[in-house]
Amino acid sequence: MSHSWLYVVSGGFVLGVGVRSFFTIGWPFIFFIFSIALAILFYSFFIIRKESFRSGGGIVLILLSLFLYAFGFGIARFHVSDRFHGDVVLEEHVGERVTVEGIISEEPDVRDGHTKLIVDVDTFIEDTLDNEIDARIIVTTESFPSYSFGNRISVEGILKKPQNFKNEIGKEFNYVSYLAKDDIFYQIGFADIGLISTGHGNRIRRALFSLKDSFLKNTGRVIQEPENALLSGVLLGTKQSLGKNLKQDFIDTGLIHIVVLSGYNVTIVAEAIMRFFGYFLARGAALSVGVVSIILFALMTGAGATIVRASIMAILVLIARATGRTYEITRALIIAGVIMLLQNPWILIHDISFQLSFLATIGLIYLAPRFESYVKFLPKLFDIRGIFAATLATQLFVLPFILYSMGTLSLVAPVVNLLALPVIPATMLSGFITGVVGFIAPIIAVPFAWISFFFLHYIILLVEFFSNLSFASLTITSFPLILVILIYMGIGWYIFKSKVTRLA
């Protein structure tokens, strides 16, 4: 059966998770699927004649049985996770002003005019009584004073349930499920917060976040804004620091992926780094530099669940592109994805970072090598040809999904990426050195800061110029899901056909 069983089992499991993500299916149906799978397996082993089994009929039935088992298990895995994780005490006080205490369990999300905090609350204060509770709440508060990961705080405000909302182009965002994937079922808007104590939470994560803050302070001393904000985005994924207008310019020009904490960003940047150093170093050394850069990126951003997923995707695609073992790495990619879904099945439908990670990775593995043959007019200097092919492949592969989920089509993205991406490795390297040397002496970091500033300023000017063009981007208000499915089926058929043609 070669590796057919892997694709069959993985496909069945993913399909089961996907179906259960949209439809409420209970245990009776799950047991019904398991019963059919068992019956087919029994039939294949004990009833089919040996001649038919050898001819392939039995193998097909066994694979069908495995598929149904995996399909049922995928439904069951999501069904188990799709239970209420809220708190009985808090449920009684939704819509009321409450006071709770807890620990900030994720790095604060600092935005224009406000900050979002994820708080693991453990105490509900009612009159003079302190009730023990266990829930996660997303809290919105003013930007100042600032709070940090591991701070124990008191939160007072109106307790609410999250609600879905529509974005700027009228597309509904399933905010409830997006938060539910992280076990967040309550929110308190613009709360009154008091600091109780510090030094709580995971020590390693606390140290990483502290290192990140110190690093950004080092670069901020020698690089002015908005260039330093862009550097923090490119290196650490803190896109909120760009500001609303500049961030929109990056979206309109299709360059937002370099400052978004997702596999889309990490894969593109890591690919550019590996290819850049591949111009000077041997393939193995360039691959090592690429992998190390991903690990450093993950550590500097706090190694949260999102960046860990993105880093796994990026490392896999680097190995595939460097070794040429496309199909071996595809199996590794499938296994990695299944493991992630086993850990949290909600991310299949409700985590855009997870979705972009897989799509960008598949695009780089299967389409980028083909695209290189179509852009031979570009120079090989600093591997501009390879970087452009990789960028074009990922952007085209994720485009149908982006049109469906976000509704934004950048017409200038290919040109902007071609002009911007070749300088990203040098920008990251000089910026990284600036921040590291800043721990020793800021004055020594100044020469590296000027180099980094030059590249950052160039990127900002590039983005501002192209975003001001009247045809820079289009808004697609409706892009049917069925069309997305058909497009990816067509791309899949093209990849499969190309593979068969090469083997023939």
Q: Are 172 and 230 in the same domain? A: no
Q: Are 266 and 134 in the same domain? A: no
Q: Are 260 and 402 in the same domain? A: yes
DSSP 8-state symbol, 100 = E
pLDDT of residue 494: 77
Structural domain count of the chain: 3
CATH of the domain at 152: 2.40.50.140
- 476-500 tens-digit pLDDT: 777 888 888 888 888 888 777 766 5
Q: Is 455 helix (H, G, I), strand (E, B) or coil?
A: helix
pLDDT of residue 417: 80
Q: For 188-214, give one letter per residue: b (16+ CB within 10 A) or e.
A: beebebeeeeeebbeeebbebbeebee
AA identity, residue 286:
A
Count the helices and strands in the chain (H runs, E runs): 21, 11
Q: Which residues span the domain enclosing 104? A: 88-201
Q: Are 74 and 181 in the same domain? A: no
Look at residues 179, 201, 223 and tell me which one is the last residue of a structural domain.
Answer: 201
- 159-168 tens-digit pLDDT: 999 988 876 6
Please say if the pLDDT value at position 50 is more than 70: no
Q: Are 246 and 384 in the same domain? A: yes
Residues paired with 104 in a beta bridge: 119
- 242-297 tens-digit pLDDT: 777 888 888 888 877 777 655 555 666 666 667 667 777 777 777 787 787 777 77
pLDDT of residue 241: 64
pLDDT of residue 504: 52
pTM of the full predicted structure? 0.75
Q: Are 114 and 26 in the same domain? A: no
Q: Are 39 and 188 in the same domain? A: no
Q: Are 401 and 471 in the same domain? A: yes
Look at residues 201, 222, 238 and tell me which one is the last residue of a structural domain.
Answer: 201
In what helix (H) or strand (E) does residue 158 lie, and over which residues does it extend?
strand 152-160
Look at residues 151, 173, 201 and tell me which one is the last residue of a structural domain.
Answer: 201
Q: Are 18 and 50 in the same domain? A: yes
Q: Are 354 and 255 in the same domain? A: yes
The mean pLDDT of the chain is 81
Separation of first and last alpha carbons in the chain: 21
Q: Are 191 and 235 in the same domain? A: no
Strands 172-173 and 97-104: unpaired
Q: Are 62 and 179 in the same domain? A: no
